[in-house]
Structure 1
Amino acid sequence: MLPVACLPLCGILMGLGYLLCPASMQGGEITGMVPTIGMFLVKAGGALIDHIALLFAVGVGVGMADDQNGTAGLTALVSWLIITSLLQADFVKLLLPTIADQPAALLAFQKIENPFIGILAGIIGAHSYNRFKNTDLPEWLAFFSRKRSTVIVSGLESILVAAVLFFVWPILFGALVGLGQGIAGMGAVGAGIYAFLNRLLIPLGLHHALNNVFWFDTIGLGDLTHFWAGETDGDVPWSLGIYMSGFFPCMMFGIPGAALAIVQCANKKRRKYVMGILGSAALCSFVCGITEPFEFAFMFCAPLLYVVYALLYGLFSYATALVGFRAGFSFSAGATDLLFSSSLPAAQDTWLILPLGLAAFVIFYVVFRVLISKFNLPTPGNEPDDTDAETVEDISDASVESADVVEGVNIASVFAGLGGKENVLTFDNCATRLRLELKDDSLVDENKLKEAGAKGVMRMGQNSIQVVIGMKVQKVADVMRGQL
């Protein structure tokens, strides 16, 4: 959630920037105060979206550290820098000159800076930190003991991982490119399959492989490049824009519909909070097609729903290809790109975005609403352990807080319910829960924890429990962490 929190800012900056400075997408000279300001906003927003993989490396490193210490973020950054440097295309060509004659393998290394590698680096950094943060070295190496040693360990692990990826990554990446080549000649069906796989692969960052097949000239297609070059169907052997058009109704209208369904399925006490997150995400998607704030908000907690979400993209891309709506994007399928691409020669029947958009809004809304309700999916605000609509209110006056009572939670009583501070081995928190590893879980008193202000207790395995606090868990966790 830490890197995801950066994305709404990106979307707002870029959306405003594109509106103020059309030349930032279409090309041409940028003159005047307003376009200049717009270009600054586009560049500022692009600094985040262009480096989302790096944000994931640092964010995952900090988020998965036992105590969320910033050292873990630095350790993850070290891992990211080593892996991406060792697997850069130019360096790989230096080690293996013959790869220059293998375009598919070379392309894989040209796309090494992706979210999948970022998450992998974050995991390496967090693991190194958690495992070695308390390790003492001999006196003559004492300077590198404990937290400082984690950076060294992370670096060594990353070298080994890079060595494995040197052989594995081109195979995985190449398989996706081959898949793209296989479906490129299927017309409307191929467009639907591509859109489905594009969304499905986003969590791993591997959608770049397919994008290079369909949008650029990796295998001679280049839907995006030919569209913005001012060409028409007569200049290419396929229906120009077919691999971009289907994203517009989904991103502009489908995501707002799905976001509304998630908000309405959320616990009534959390709807304002969820609306704040998903409302800005829906706006980002509508204006400039930035979908990550919405997608990463639920893809990991409700993977089934994400698969259906990807399937809806495939269905709408298929339908869009059949009805003849054609539009293109240089950034993503938002209203800004639709506005500017509608004047290009390859654009066709752009007015169809209205009926297509209405259909997308309704279908996304109904599908999300039915699936979340029927299967009680843990979307934001609807987590299974937080679904009691009328949970216990704060047990004390929230306006009168002390070191012992935070957000209605009695900290001393929580520790007592856990069997004492000395019973706590590791301590962390997610969006709503405290996550703990204990020495002896038989000492846990669930009634005492609930009396202290917890809304529930989940036993996750031997000596592993989660204490449900609610959306204000971070403040409670910070106070408890300071007392351990």
Structure 2
Amino acid sequence: MKAYMQKFAQSLMLPISILPVAGLLLGIASFIDSGAINGEGNSVANFLANGGLAVIDNLPILFAVGLAFGMSKDKNGAAALSGLVSFLVVTQVLKPEAMAKVLHIAEDKVDIAFTGISNVFIGIICGLVTAAIYNRFKDTKLPTAFAFFSGKRLVPILSAAAMLVISIALMFIWPPVYNGLVSFGEMISKLGPLGAGLYGFFNRLLLPFGLHHALNQVFWFDIAGINDIANFWSSKGEAGITGRYQAGLFPIMMFGLPAAALAIWKNAEKRNRKVVGSLMVTAAIASFVTGITEPLEFSFLVAAPMLFGIHALLTGISLFIAATFHWTAGFTFSAGLIDYLLSLSIPIANKPLMLLVLGLIMGVVYFIVFDFAIRTFNLKTPGRDGLMEEAAKQDPSLEEDEEGTSTNNSGVKVSNKTKLIYEAIGGNDNIEVIDHCATRLRLTLKDTSVVDQDKIKQSGALGNKVISDKNIQIIIGTDVQFTADELMQMQQNQGH
């Protein structure tokens, strides 16, 4: 189950990764003319705004397609198409007009829950069910008379049939679920700033398991009626309220975590500071500019979990403070400088410059707290565990070329980092599946107990997390795709 949830969280990143495009278009449109989002004013701004809203308004479809694709074993387009078919079937069958005919009642008598059937939650269900059908039946062979519909062609047909059955169940299940989710959202909303603070705290605590994405669905999208991201960028909410589940993250990602990186560098052994400095600067820049925090957070998560607990607490405090004073800004990807600047032009943003003031304060707090904790409790942050010096040395078994890559015995050029990771995880004898998300290698191994933790650290990886007996995540950074590709090359070559 844990491995399944990990893959689910990873697959959510595909539709979510499209949001920056929408944010960019809406941000530019609002900068040109703040009324463009509501269909007013400048023609060019309206044109750009509609392009952005095309993504925001169709998030449920993107989740259905993205999850069906991401959860499929071989990432095939047939799975994505089937996800679309599933979503269209459910939303067509359960829309109020159709339900009125099925139940033989007036349309205004249909439960209000069915007016919200086209939402991210339903999109997620469609995507997951479709992926399960695809993985089970993609290689099915039918009798000769029906052979044309065998294999992947069978999946959309089965998906449509399955969703008809599920639609019948949803006729009875969806109303109480929908109303329950709305009540949950209202309960959190009534907690006001405290609710925002609790969300921030648990958001970070779930990060190591990749489950923070599931929590985000409740607050950022329209599952529980909060829909914080879409309402902020379309300026449909309330100034000072809409964006409260996003705003407090800007001070953390732009100031707090970079300050933590400075504290980690300061406390590294002098002989290791050059190596640690290069790692921390890269991770801090990623956090500040883009809001991608995992490279930095995982650098101290495993070695010093106490610091991660402190980080989660401070994140909750930041969201609480921002929500208390009604300082709001929003993001489409993450709480970095790019999204911050784009959100400044959104009409509903409220006193966003105060988030910079809060950020400076949180930066000072992070540095003092991290510096004190590292020294007082002798925490083994990067550069204090005796391994960073080894990480800077080249593996003597490698033959270096001018670009810092190495050629293994089979003639495949890979980086030293990749070769060390390949050896650390046990090579082909232990590898089952190689995958990755935005910053992490997500590996399925036969046995994680044989993984050489020291060699992973020597590779220069920013950290790793053993999820289960078969699953491990290794933190690489934003260039993780290239490491994953090289690992796959080595795996394929060694398998010949």
Report the TM-score when normalising by structure 2.
0.61
Give the fraction of aligned pairs with identical amino acids, expressed as a percent: 23
Select the residue among 398, 409, 415 that pairs with 1:407.
Answer: 415
Query: Given residue 359 of structure 1, which amino acid in structure 2 is its aligned partner?
Result: L
What's the secondary structure of 2:74's corresponding residue?
A: coil
Q: 1:172 to 1:262 in 2, by over 3 A?
A: farther
Partner of 1:96: 103
Aligned residue for 2:217?
A: 203
Q: Which runs of 5+ in 1 are unaligned?
A: 217-223, 228-240, 283-292, 376-381
Match for residue 166 of structure 1? 171
Deviation, 1:124, is: 2.2
DSSP 3-state at the match of 1:3: helix
Of residues 10, 32, 51, the one that matches 2:58 is 51
Q: Distance in 1 between matches of 2:312 and 2:115?
A: 28
For 1:473, the aligned partner's letter is T
Instruction: Trace 1:58-457 onto structure 2 (pairs within 5 A).
Output: 58-98=65-105, 100-101=107-108, 105-106=111-112, 108-178=113-183, 191-192=192-193, 202-204=216-218, 207=222, 209-211=224-226, 241=239, 243-244=241-242, 250=248, 253=251, 256-257=254-255, 260=258, 271=280, 274=283, 278-281=287-290, 309=315, 312-320=318-326, 341=347, 354-355=353-354, 357-359=356-358, 362-363=361-362, 366=365, 391=391, 395-397=398-400, 398-399=404-405, 401=407, 404-408=412-416, 409=418, 417-418=426-427, 420=429, 428-430=435-437, 431-433=439-441, 435-436=443-444, 438=446
Q: Deviations over 1:433-481 (max 9, x none)?
A: 352354xx5997869x97997979987656x354848434321244257
SS at match of 1:67: coil
Partner of 1:220: none
Unaligned regions of 5+ residues in structure 2, if any?
A: 1-12, 204-214, 266-275, 333-338, 375-380
C-alpha RMSD of matched pairs (Å):
5.6
Q: Identify if the C-alpha distance between structure 1 residues 469 and 278 changes in structure 2 by more than 3 Å, giving closer, same or farther.
A: closer
Worse-superposed segment, 197-206 or 43-52? 197-206
The match for 2:270 is: none
Distance change >3 Å, CA 25–CA 154, structure 1 → 2: closer
Partner of 1:17: 29
Distance 1:416 1:341 in 2: 50
The C-alpha deviation readout for 1:30-79, integer Å capped at 9, x for no partner, is 25xxxx1x333333333333333333333333333333333333333333
Cα deviation, 1:388-415, whole Å, max 9, x if unaligned, reads 756476745344557634233459x869
Q: TM-score, normalised by structure 1?
A: 0.62
Question: Quick one: distance in 1 between partners of 2:314 and 2:347?
Answer: 29
CA distance, structure 2, for counterparts of residue 450 and residue 181 of structure 1: 45
CA drift at 1:19: 0.6
Greater RCO, 1 or 2 (C-alpha within 8 Å, sep 6+): 2
- After superposition, the Cα gap between the structure-2 partners of 1:126 and 1:20, relative to the gap in structure 1 and judged at 3 Å, is same
Note the C-alpha offset of 1:203.
Answer: 1.6
Seen in structure 2, the aligned counterparts of structure 1 residues 19 and 170 have a Cα distance that, compared at 3 Å, is same
The answer to whether the Cα contact below 8 Å between 1:111 and 1:208 also exists between their aligned partners in 2 is no
* CA displacement 1:243-266 (0-9 Å, x = unmatched): 448579537656534564687679
Question: SS state of the match for residue 443, structure 2?
Answer: strand
Contact 1:260 1:365 in 2 (8 A): no
Tell whether the 8 Å contact from 1:434 to 1:477 is kept in structure 2 after alignment.
no
The 2-side partners of 1:196 and 1:128 are apart by: 39
